[in-house]
A and B are shown apart, each in its own frame.
Chain A
Amino acid sequence: MTTVEHAVGATGASGRVGLNRQSITGLVFGLLGIALLAGVAPAISGNSRRFNFEPPPDPAGIGFHPPTWVVAIGVLFLLTAVLGFAPPEARRWASPARLLSALAVIPLLLVLSLALSDNPSTNIVNLFNESLVLATPLALGATTGLWCERSGIINIGIEGTMLAGAGIGYMTYATIGDAQSTGWLWFSILISVLAGGLVAALLAVLSIRFGVNQIVGGVVINLFALGLTGFLRSEVIVKTGITTGVGTSEFGLPLLSEIPVIGDQLFRGKPIYWMMYLVVIGTWLVMFRTPWGLRVRSCGENPHAAETLGVNVVRIRYQSVILGGLIAGLAGAWFSMESQTRFEDNMTNAAGFIALAALIFGKWTPWGAFGGALLFGFSRALGTRLQFLGVEVSGFEIPSEFLQALPFIVTLVVVAGAVGRSIPPAAAGQPFQRSK
């Protein structure tokens, strides 16, 4: 009797309090849906468009009629909005509907951008691949943050750690390698990784040994890396004369890259890109399947409890932060020796901060963080694609800066409604003092 009452009370309560976010999200989807049905669908051209699956000539693909798609997605949005306000019995459909609608934003952006441009077709498999590649440093950076924060250290110095890895790695290559061959390239990548570990060790000493505020420590790392790599570029790299080098080269995965149409586009890639998958999978395995991973997570949740069980919290935090730094160093190498083959000042360009956003977005889990990174990678790839397509709205060409930013804004706003609140490890940011 009492348990039944309690259960009813609990659902009633969560329904009532959750209504706030639900109703706001519902409202947003409702307005979007109305705008699509009443405003966009009639306005865009009814000419058929095509999604290609491979590069020309004569690509495979599917044709579609843009207004139909816009109407379909608009109806989905409206349905989601209505479900948000539906009676409690129908509420259980509201959450999947929100997720579906959030995902539908991606095809919507694609359909709209193609419909609003003069180009009749675009290759979407290639777009997906670009998203994955651009997600590489973000996923690696988010994994860095994952190791640090799960152990209880907030690391906003990921940006600086990556930059130091990129700069010091390339400097090594420019100093002892040469501009035409890949000799010493792998050694330089290793140096990048180690440089990342070293910079992270600095953060670890500051925050663990000296109890410096972790945010301040991270800011110091970012400023320090920016200054250091700028100095090294102008004083060392430029003087070697090797300002552009040879980067890592693509290879196809056996068998998979043989798959017709998509194989060659999706399963060919460069080594750091492939390593990113290994890092994410490895992180997931180690963090959630091994004793050491369990201990790391306990240090980020309740270090004093861990201490009472004989876990050496200080050591675990050092290990995790430095491991994170090694991963960030690899992300740095991606910038200067895989994506580009040179080093520029501030070339990481806020990827470290976007990685943090991906981490929070992914609720501090490896796969969630990877998903977040992929989403931001897609936003970046789509921003570039939109520029190529030349999107026009009633004869007015949208400025490229706006096009670059638009996907980020749309995905963030919409997915914020679907992902909801993200709870960090309980002890992240708290200095730990061993009992005396």
Chain B
Amino acid sequence: MAQASGGAARPVLEVEGITKAFPGVVANDDVSLTLNQGEIHCLLGENGAGKSTLVNMVFGLYRPDQGTIKVRGEEVHFEDSGDAIARGIGMVHQHFQLIPVFTVAENIILGNEVTKGAFLDLDSARRQIDSLAERYGLAVDPDATVGDLSVGEQQRVELVKALFRDADILILDEPTAVLTPGEVDDFFGVVESLTGQGKSIIFITHKLREVLAVADRITVLRAGQVVGTATAEGATQQSLANLMVGRDVVFRVDKAEADPGAPVLRTQDLRVADDRGVETVTGFDVEVRAGEIFGIAGVEGNGQRELVEAICGMRPTAGGRVEMLGQETTDWSPRKINELGVAHVPENRSKHGVVAQYTIADNLVLNRYHHRKFSQRGVRNTAAINAEAQELVEQFDVRTPGVDAVIDTLSGGNQQKVIVARELTGDLKALVVAQPTRGLDVGSIEFIHRKIIELRDRGVAVLLVSAELDEILSLSDRIGVLYRGRLAGTVNAADATREELGLLMATGSSGGQR
């Protein structure tokens, strides 16, 4: 990426020696960072490395324990984000800070309302938004209700919101996590047009490919400390990953050729409605064979959640059928499906994966506490449960003080390992797994991927749903793209390209026209 024009680097934001501790953890330890006028500065690090904490301090949401923040050479102390906004700092949060029932215009002006007398002046707000949208190429409809917009459109609203406040330092917290590959390219275009007009950008991500694509400079955080800075020219994916994790990282998942057997899981014209009653799975057909991994790619919100929940018996179907091992299992209870030998690693870890206040041992037997082995005549056999838990904790490398620790005290990665340990134990025929590595560090991701492949090699049929295209590509044997509730296309993983999948995800067809 070419260095931004404009002569000598002029710092617009200087963070010096910032330390911030939360009870039990030092989130930022003596962190320093400089952002120059017109540059894209990537902040790279694993989850929990302290990236969000750092930018939340720059944006005035947290107050640092030590250290100083300077904006255009002047030291600042922000009491709230209103102060940061007044200094020309804007932030697009990872989880959009939008109000779904408000219109685009209302969302944008909130906090900086345009008024005529005592009343809101939505007409002139609309004009200002239109002119901003035109200037930066961010098409938004001021009168649309935000809840009806796509994720990409919502992100544009967030950007316009920051620009509306005259932000010239923009903090983008994992902006690409929710976008399709095509949208990501568009987004990079927008980002470049912003720096072209003099804006300076802090870009947070953990995706190495993106860093190398857009960054002028890179700062890597690990465990709250800056472990390295680099320019985009000198860096490679491997060097950045090693910095980020602190050891050598293996990217490729090693796996043998699949040897598919008989069909295990089949759906026919499956239809499922979401919580609002809108049908989001609209006729889904798939057949997953023993010993293969069928990956489902797709932008989130295309029916993934409802599909998985319906297959696993957690949500009633609205039509069609589900078959497993040759029997119809449509609308069976989750336990009945589970007893058939179908395991489920749910997308929503804290809601459907664990009981947060239970111990690790109890969480590990949630799906079989009633079996003869663990309870006799209605009384739990604690000794047997603990013994089983101890074994699983060792086998799955769960880092915990003990099996009687409350699971809520573990990190996300360790919680996920507990879920995987529970679900992957027993006589499995099929595994339905959704977003298995979301939010996990590279080490846990490697581990869980290996376990899934192991299972496949033992002849289990695996249905993998993931929003991470890289994960889909490296694990799957066949890949289906879910678009508006049905399969837009199926390809063999060996022949699949990111571009083809990206097009399918964005438009539902691989053909020329949009």
Contact = CB atoms under 8 A, between A and B. Distances in A.
Contacts of A12: 279
Interface string A316-328: 0000000000000
B438 interface: no
Contact of A294 (B81, B98, B120, B279): B120
Interface in B84-118: 85, 91, 93, 96-102, 106, 109-113, 115, 118
Contact of A307 (B81, B109, B485, B508): B81
Nearest to B319: A16
B149 interface: no
Interface in A1-59: 2, 5-6, 9-10, 12-14, 16-18
A127 B168 CA distance: 63
Nearest to A16: B318
Contacts of B106: 294
B277 A17 contact: yes
A291 B112 CA distance: 8
Interface string B59-91: 101110000000000000000111101000001
A302 interface: yes
A436 B63 contact: yes
B510 interface: no
A310 interface: yes
A291 B118 CA distance: 8
A304 B318 CA distance: 36
B100 to A, nearest CB: 7
**Best-buried of B82, B99, B101, B109 by chain A (most CB within 10 Å):** B99
Interface in B282-324: 282, 318
A284 to B, nearest CB: 12
A301 B81 CA distance: 19
Contact of A298 (B81, B110, B120, B277): B110
A302 B93 CA distance: 14
Contacts of B101: 301, 426
A302 B278 contact: no
B509 interface: yes
Nearest to A12: B279
A312 interface: yes
A180 interface: no
A308 B83 CA distance: 10
Contact of B99 (A18, A298, A310): A298
Contacts of B111: 295, 306, 309-311
A435 interface: yes
A297 interface: yes
A305 interface: yes
Contacts of B98: 302, 305
A289 B120 contact: yes
Interface residues of A, number: 33
A12 B282 CA distance: 10
B217 interface: no
Nearest to B111: A309
Given A14-B278, A17-B278, A435-B61, A2 B113 contact: no
A308 B279 contact: no
A436 to B, nearest CB: 6
Contacts of B277: 13-14, 17-18
B110 A435 contact: no
Interface in B484-514: 484-485, 507-509
B1 to A, nearest CB: 29
B56 interface: yes
A290 interface: yes
B273 interface: yes
B100 A309 contact: no
Contacts of A2: 484, 507-509
Contacts of B91: 308
Contact of A311 (B100, B110, B118, B278): B110
A18 B93 CA distance: 35
A6 B283 CA distance: 12
B77 to A, nearest CB: 15
Interface in B247-279: 273, 277-279
A306 B119 CA distance: 19
A310 B62 contact: no
Given A14-B278, A310-B81, A426-B101, A290 B118 contact: yes
Contacts of A297: 99, 102
Nearest to B318: A16
Contacts of A302: 97-100
Interface in A203-218: none
Contacts of B509: 2
**Best-buried of A18, A306, A311, A435 by chain B (most CB within 10 Å):** A435
B282 A308 contact: no
Given A294-B109, A305-B97, A312-B80, A6 B484 contact: yes
A9 B318 CA distance: 13
A426 B100 contact: yes
Interface string B203-223: 000000000000000000000
A155 B161 CA distance: 32
A14 to B, nearest CB: 7
B142 to A, nearest CB: 14
Nearest to B22: A436
Contact of B61 (A291, A307, A426): A307
**Best-buried of B93, B110, B484, B485 by chain A (most CB within 10 Å):** B110
**Best-buried of A14, A16, A307, A308 by chain B (most CB within 10 Å):** A308
Interface string A262-292: 0000000000000000000000010001110
Nearest to A302: B99
Given A294-B110, A298-B110, A309-B85, A9 B484 contact: yes
B93 to A, nearest CB: 7
Contacts of B282: 9, 13
Given A13-B278, A302-B97, A309 B273 contact: no
A368 to B, nearest CB: 15
A308 B60 CA distance: 9
B80 A307 contact: yes
Contacts of A18: 277
Minimum-distance CB pairs A-B, first 4: A310-B82, A13-B279, A309-B111, A291-B113
9 contacts: A2-B509, A17-B278, A290-B118, A297-B102, A301-B99, A305-B96, A306-B99, A311-B110, A311-B111
Given A310-B82, A310-B111, 15 more contacts: A2-B507, A2-B509, A12-B279, A14-B278, A290-B115, A294-B109, A294-B120, A297-B102, A302-B98, A307-B80, A308-B81, A309-B82, A309-B111, A309-B161, A311-B110
Interface of A: 2, 5-6, 9-10, 12-14, 16-18, 285, 289-291, 294-295, 297-298, 301-302, 304-312, 426, 435-436
